[in-house]
Amino acid sequence: MSAHSQSMGAAPDLDFCPLMPTYGPPAVQFVRGSGTELFDRDGRRYLDFLSGLAVTSLGHSHPAVAEAIAEQARTLLHVSNLFGTQPGVEVAVTLDRLIGAEQGSPPGRPRGQVFFCNSGAEANEAAIKLARRFGGRGRHVVVSAYESFHGRTLATLHATGQPAKHEVFQPLPEGFRHVVWHDLDALEAALDDTVTAVLLEPVQGEGGVNVASVEYFSGVRRLCDERGILFMVDEVQTGLGRTGRWFGFQHFGVLPDVVTVAKALGNGVPIGACWAKREVAAAFEPGDHATTFGGQPLAASAARAVLRVMEAIDAPALASERGDELRARLEGLPHVVDVRGLGLLVAARLDVPVAADVVQRALGAGLVVNAVRPDAIRFAPPLTVSTAEIEEAVAVIGPLLADVEVAA
């Protein structure tokens, strides 16, 4: 027997985890899910009010998505992007239509073009490269906001406005600048001749669920138009119905030049996309950017099924209605001083910094949520969540918050 065969058959070292320590030790190991429910390896049921970080917007194991994946796996899994396949084209057409849905576009007339990739970070990486190609030499800086989150690659990490996350990875790529969130004067002061784009989220999910305003986004659009700068909107977490519109920027009456999307697009299958207006997308030439797996048939078929279901059920309307219910129920809970967000991307802000402890105890009680700040708990259930499930979740979190009074 070879040394390799012997090692493959060796008893595992139960004290050693084969995964890199980029996450803490998992508190729970989930083995299956259905709709808003998750089940661990002991068969215990949990309510998922995080959706894999706003990913499973149609709930777990949606039958239409599962069937699309299975059928595509039996048909064609992958070919190089040197060749064409059908599902990705259909997804691109749908994304273009939904992005322009409230802009009065003539039916069937595309506004932009799409580059497919595998994640939100890659979508933002594509947007950054596109902005640099559009700006040309000497005009390469991307301005983003403090408390933002745009990804974990070196470039998107530097675009992320959280300096504490930067330090251990210095030196980071040059060409990024940060300004105070929701401050047009600060943004205007940062827009010198080296700036090619402004990159913002309509709701800063990882920053605490901080919502933009009509005044802010319309002001950014005006400044970008005046300076010939691209306005790029990161919809990785907010896109595809989560905020109560197809895209978060649609709450503010503007159309960006570039839009990035991922998370909900595959309902758990890795896929991301960078959309750009046709005249902006034209800055890319063959060979400027590429990815082996982006838009391959399996992921694109999942995305096609997701979009079909979302349109059939009017996902934004569901998110708006259920979001109002969730906010109303959270507002009356102990220690909750504010509930902010849009649709079903909601944070309960507390008057004491106990969010992490409450989240941990919620998991023990069968509810999955997370702490985005020491004093803020994020709720992002599937858009298909029921009123009864919202009531059940609040019935779990309410007593845990009430217990804080005893410990305070």
Residues labelled as active-site residues: 149, 234, 263
Q: Which residue, among 210, 220, 206, has the nearest Cα to 252 in the 3D structure?
A: 220
Q: Cα separation of 47 and 396, whole Å?
A: 10
Parallel/antiparallel/unpaired status of strands 203-204 and 230-234: unpaired
Tokens read off for 95: 């994304």
Identify how many contiguous H helices and E strands the chain contains and give both numbers. Answer: 13, 17
Alpha-carbon span 26 to 38, nearest angstrom: 15
Calculated CA dihedral for residues 238, 244, 247, 248, nearest 10 degrees: -60
Residue 330 phi, psi (nearest 5): -75, -30
Measured between alpha carbons, how far is 283 from 131 in angstroms, rounded to an integer? 9
Contacts of 113 (CB under 8 A, 6+ apart): 92, 96, 275, 276, 278, 281
How many angstroms separate the CA atoms of 81 and 103, rounded? 31
Give the single-character DSSP code of 165. Answer: G
3-state secondary structure of 128: helix
- Structure tokens given for 397: 């979190």
C-alpha to C-alpha distance for 269 and 169, rounded to whole angstroms? 29
Contact between 217 and 202 under an 8 Å Cβ cutoff? The reply is: yes
Distances (CA, A) of 178 to 104, 160, 161, 194: 33, 8, 6, 14
Cα separation, 355 vs 392, in Å, equals 19
Q: Rg (Cα) of the chain, in Å, rounded?
A: 22
DSSP state of 90: H
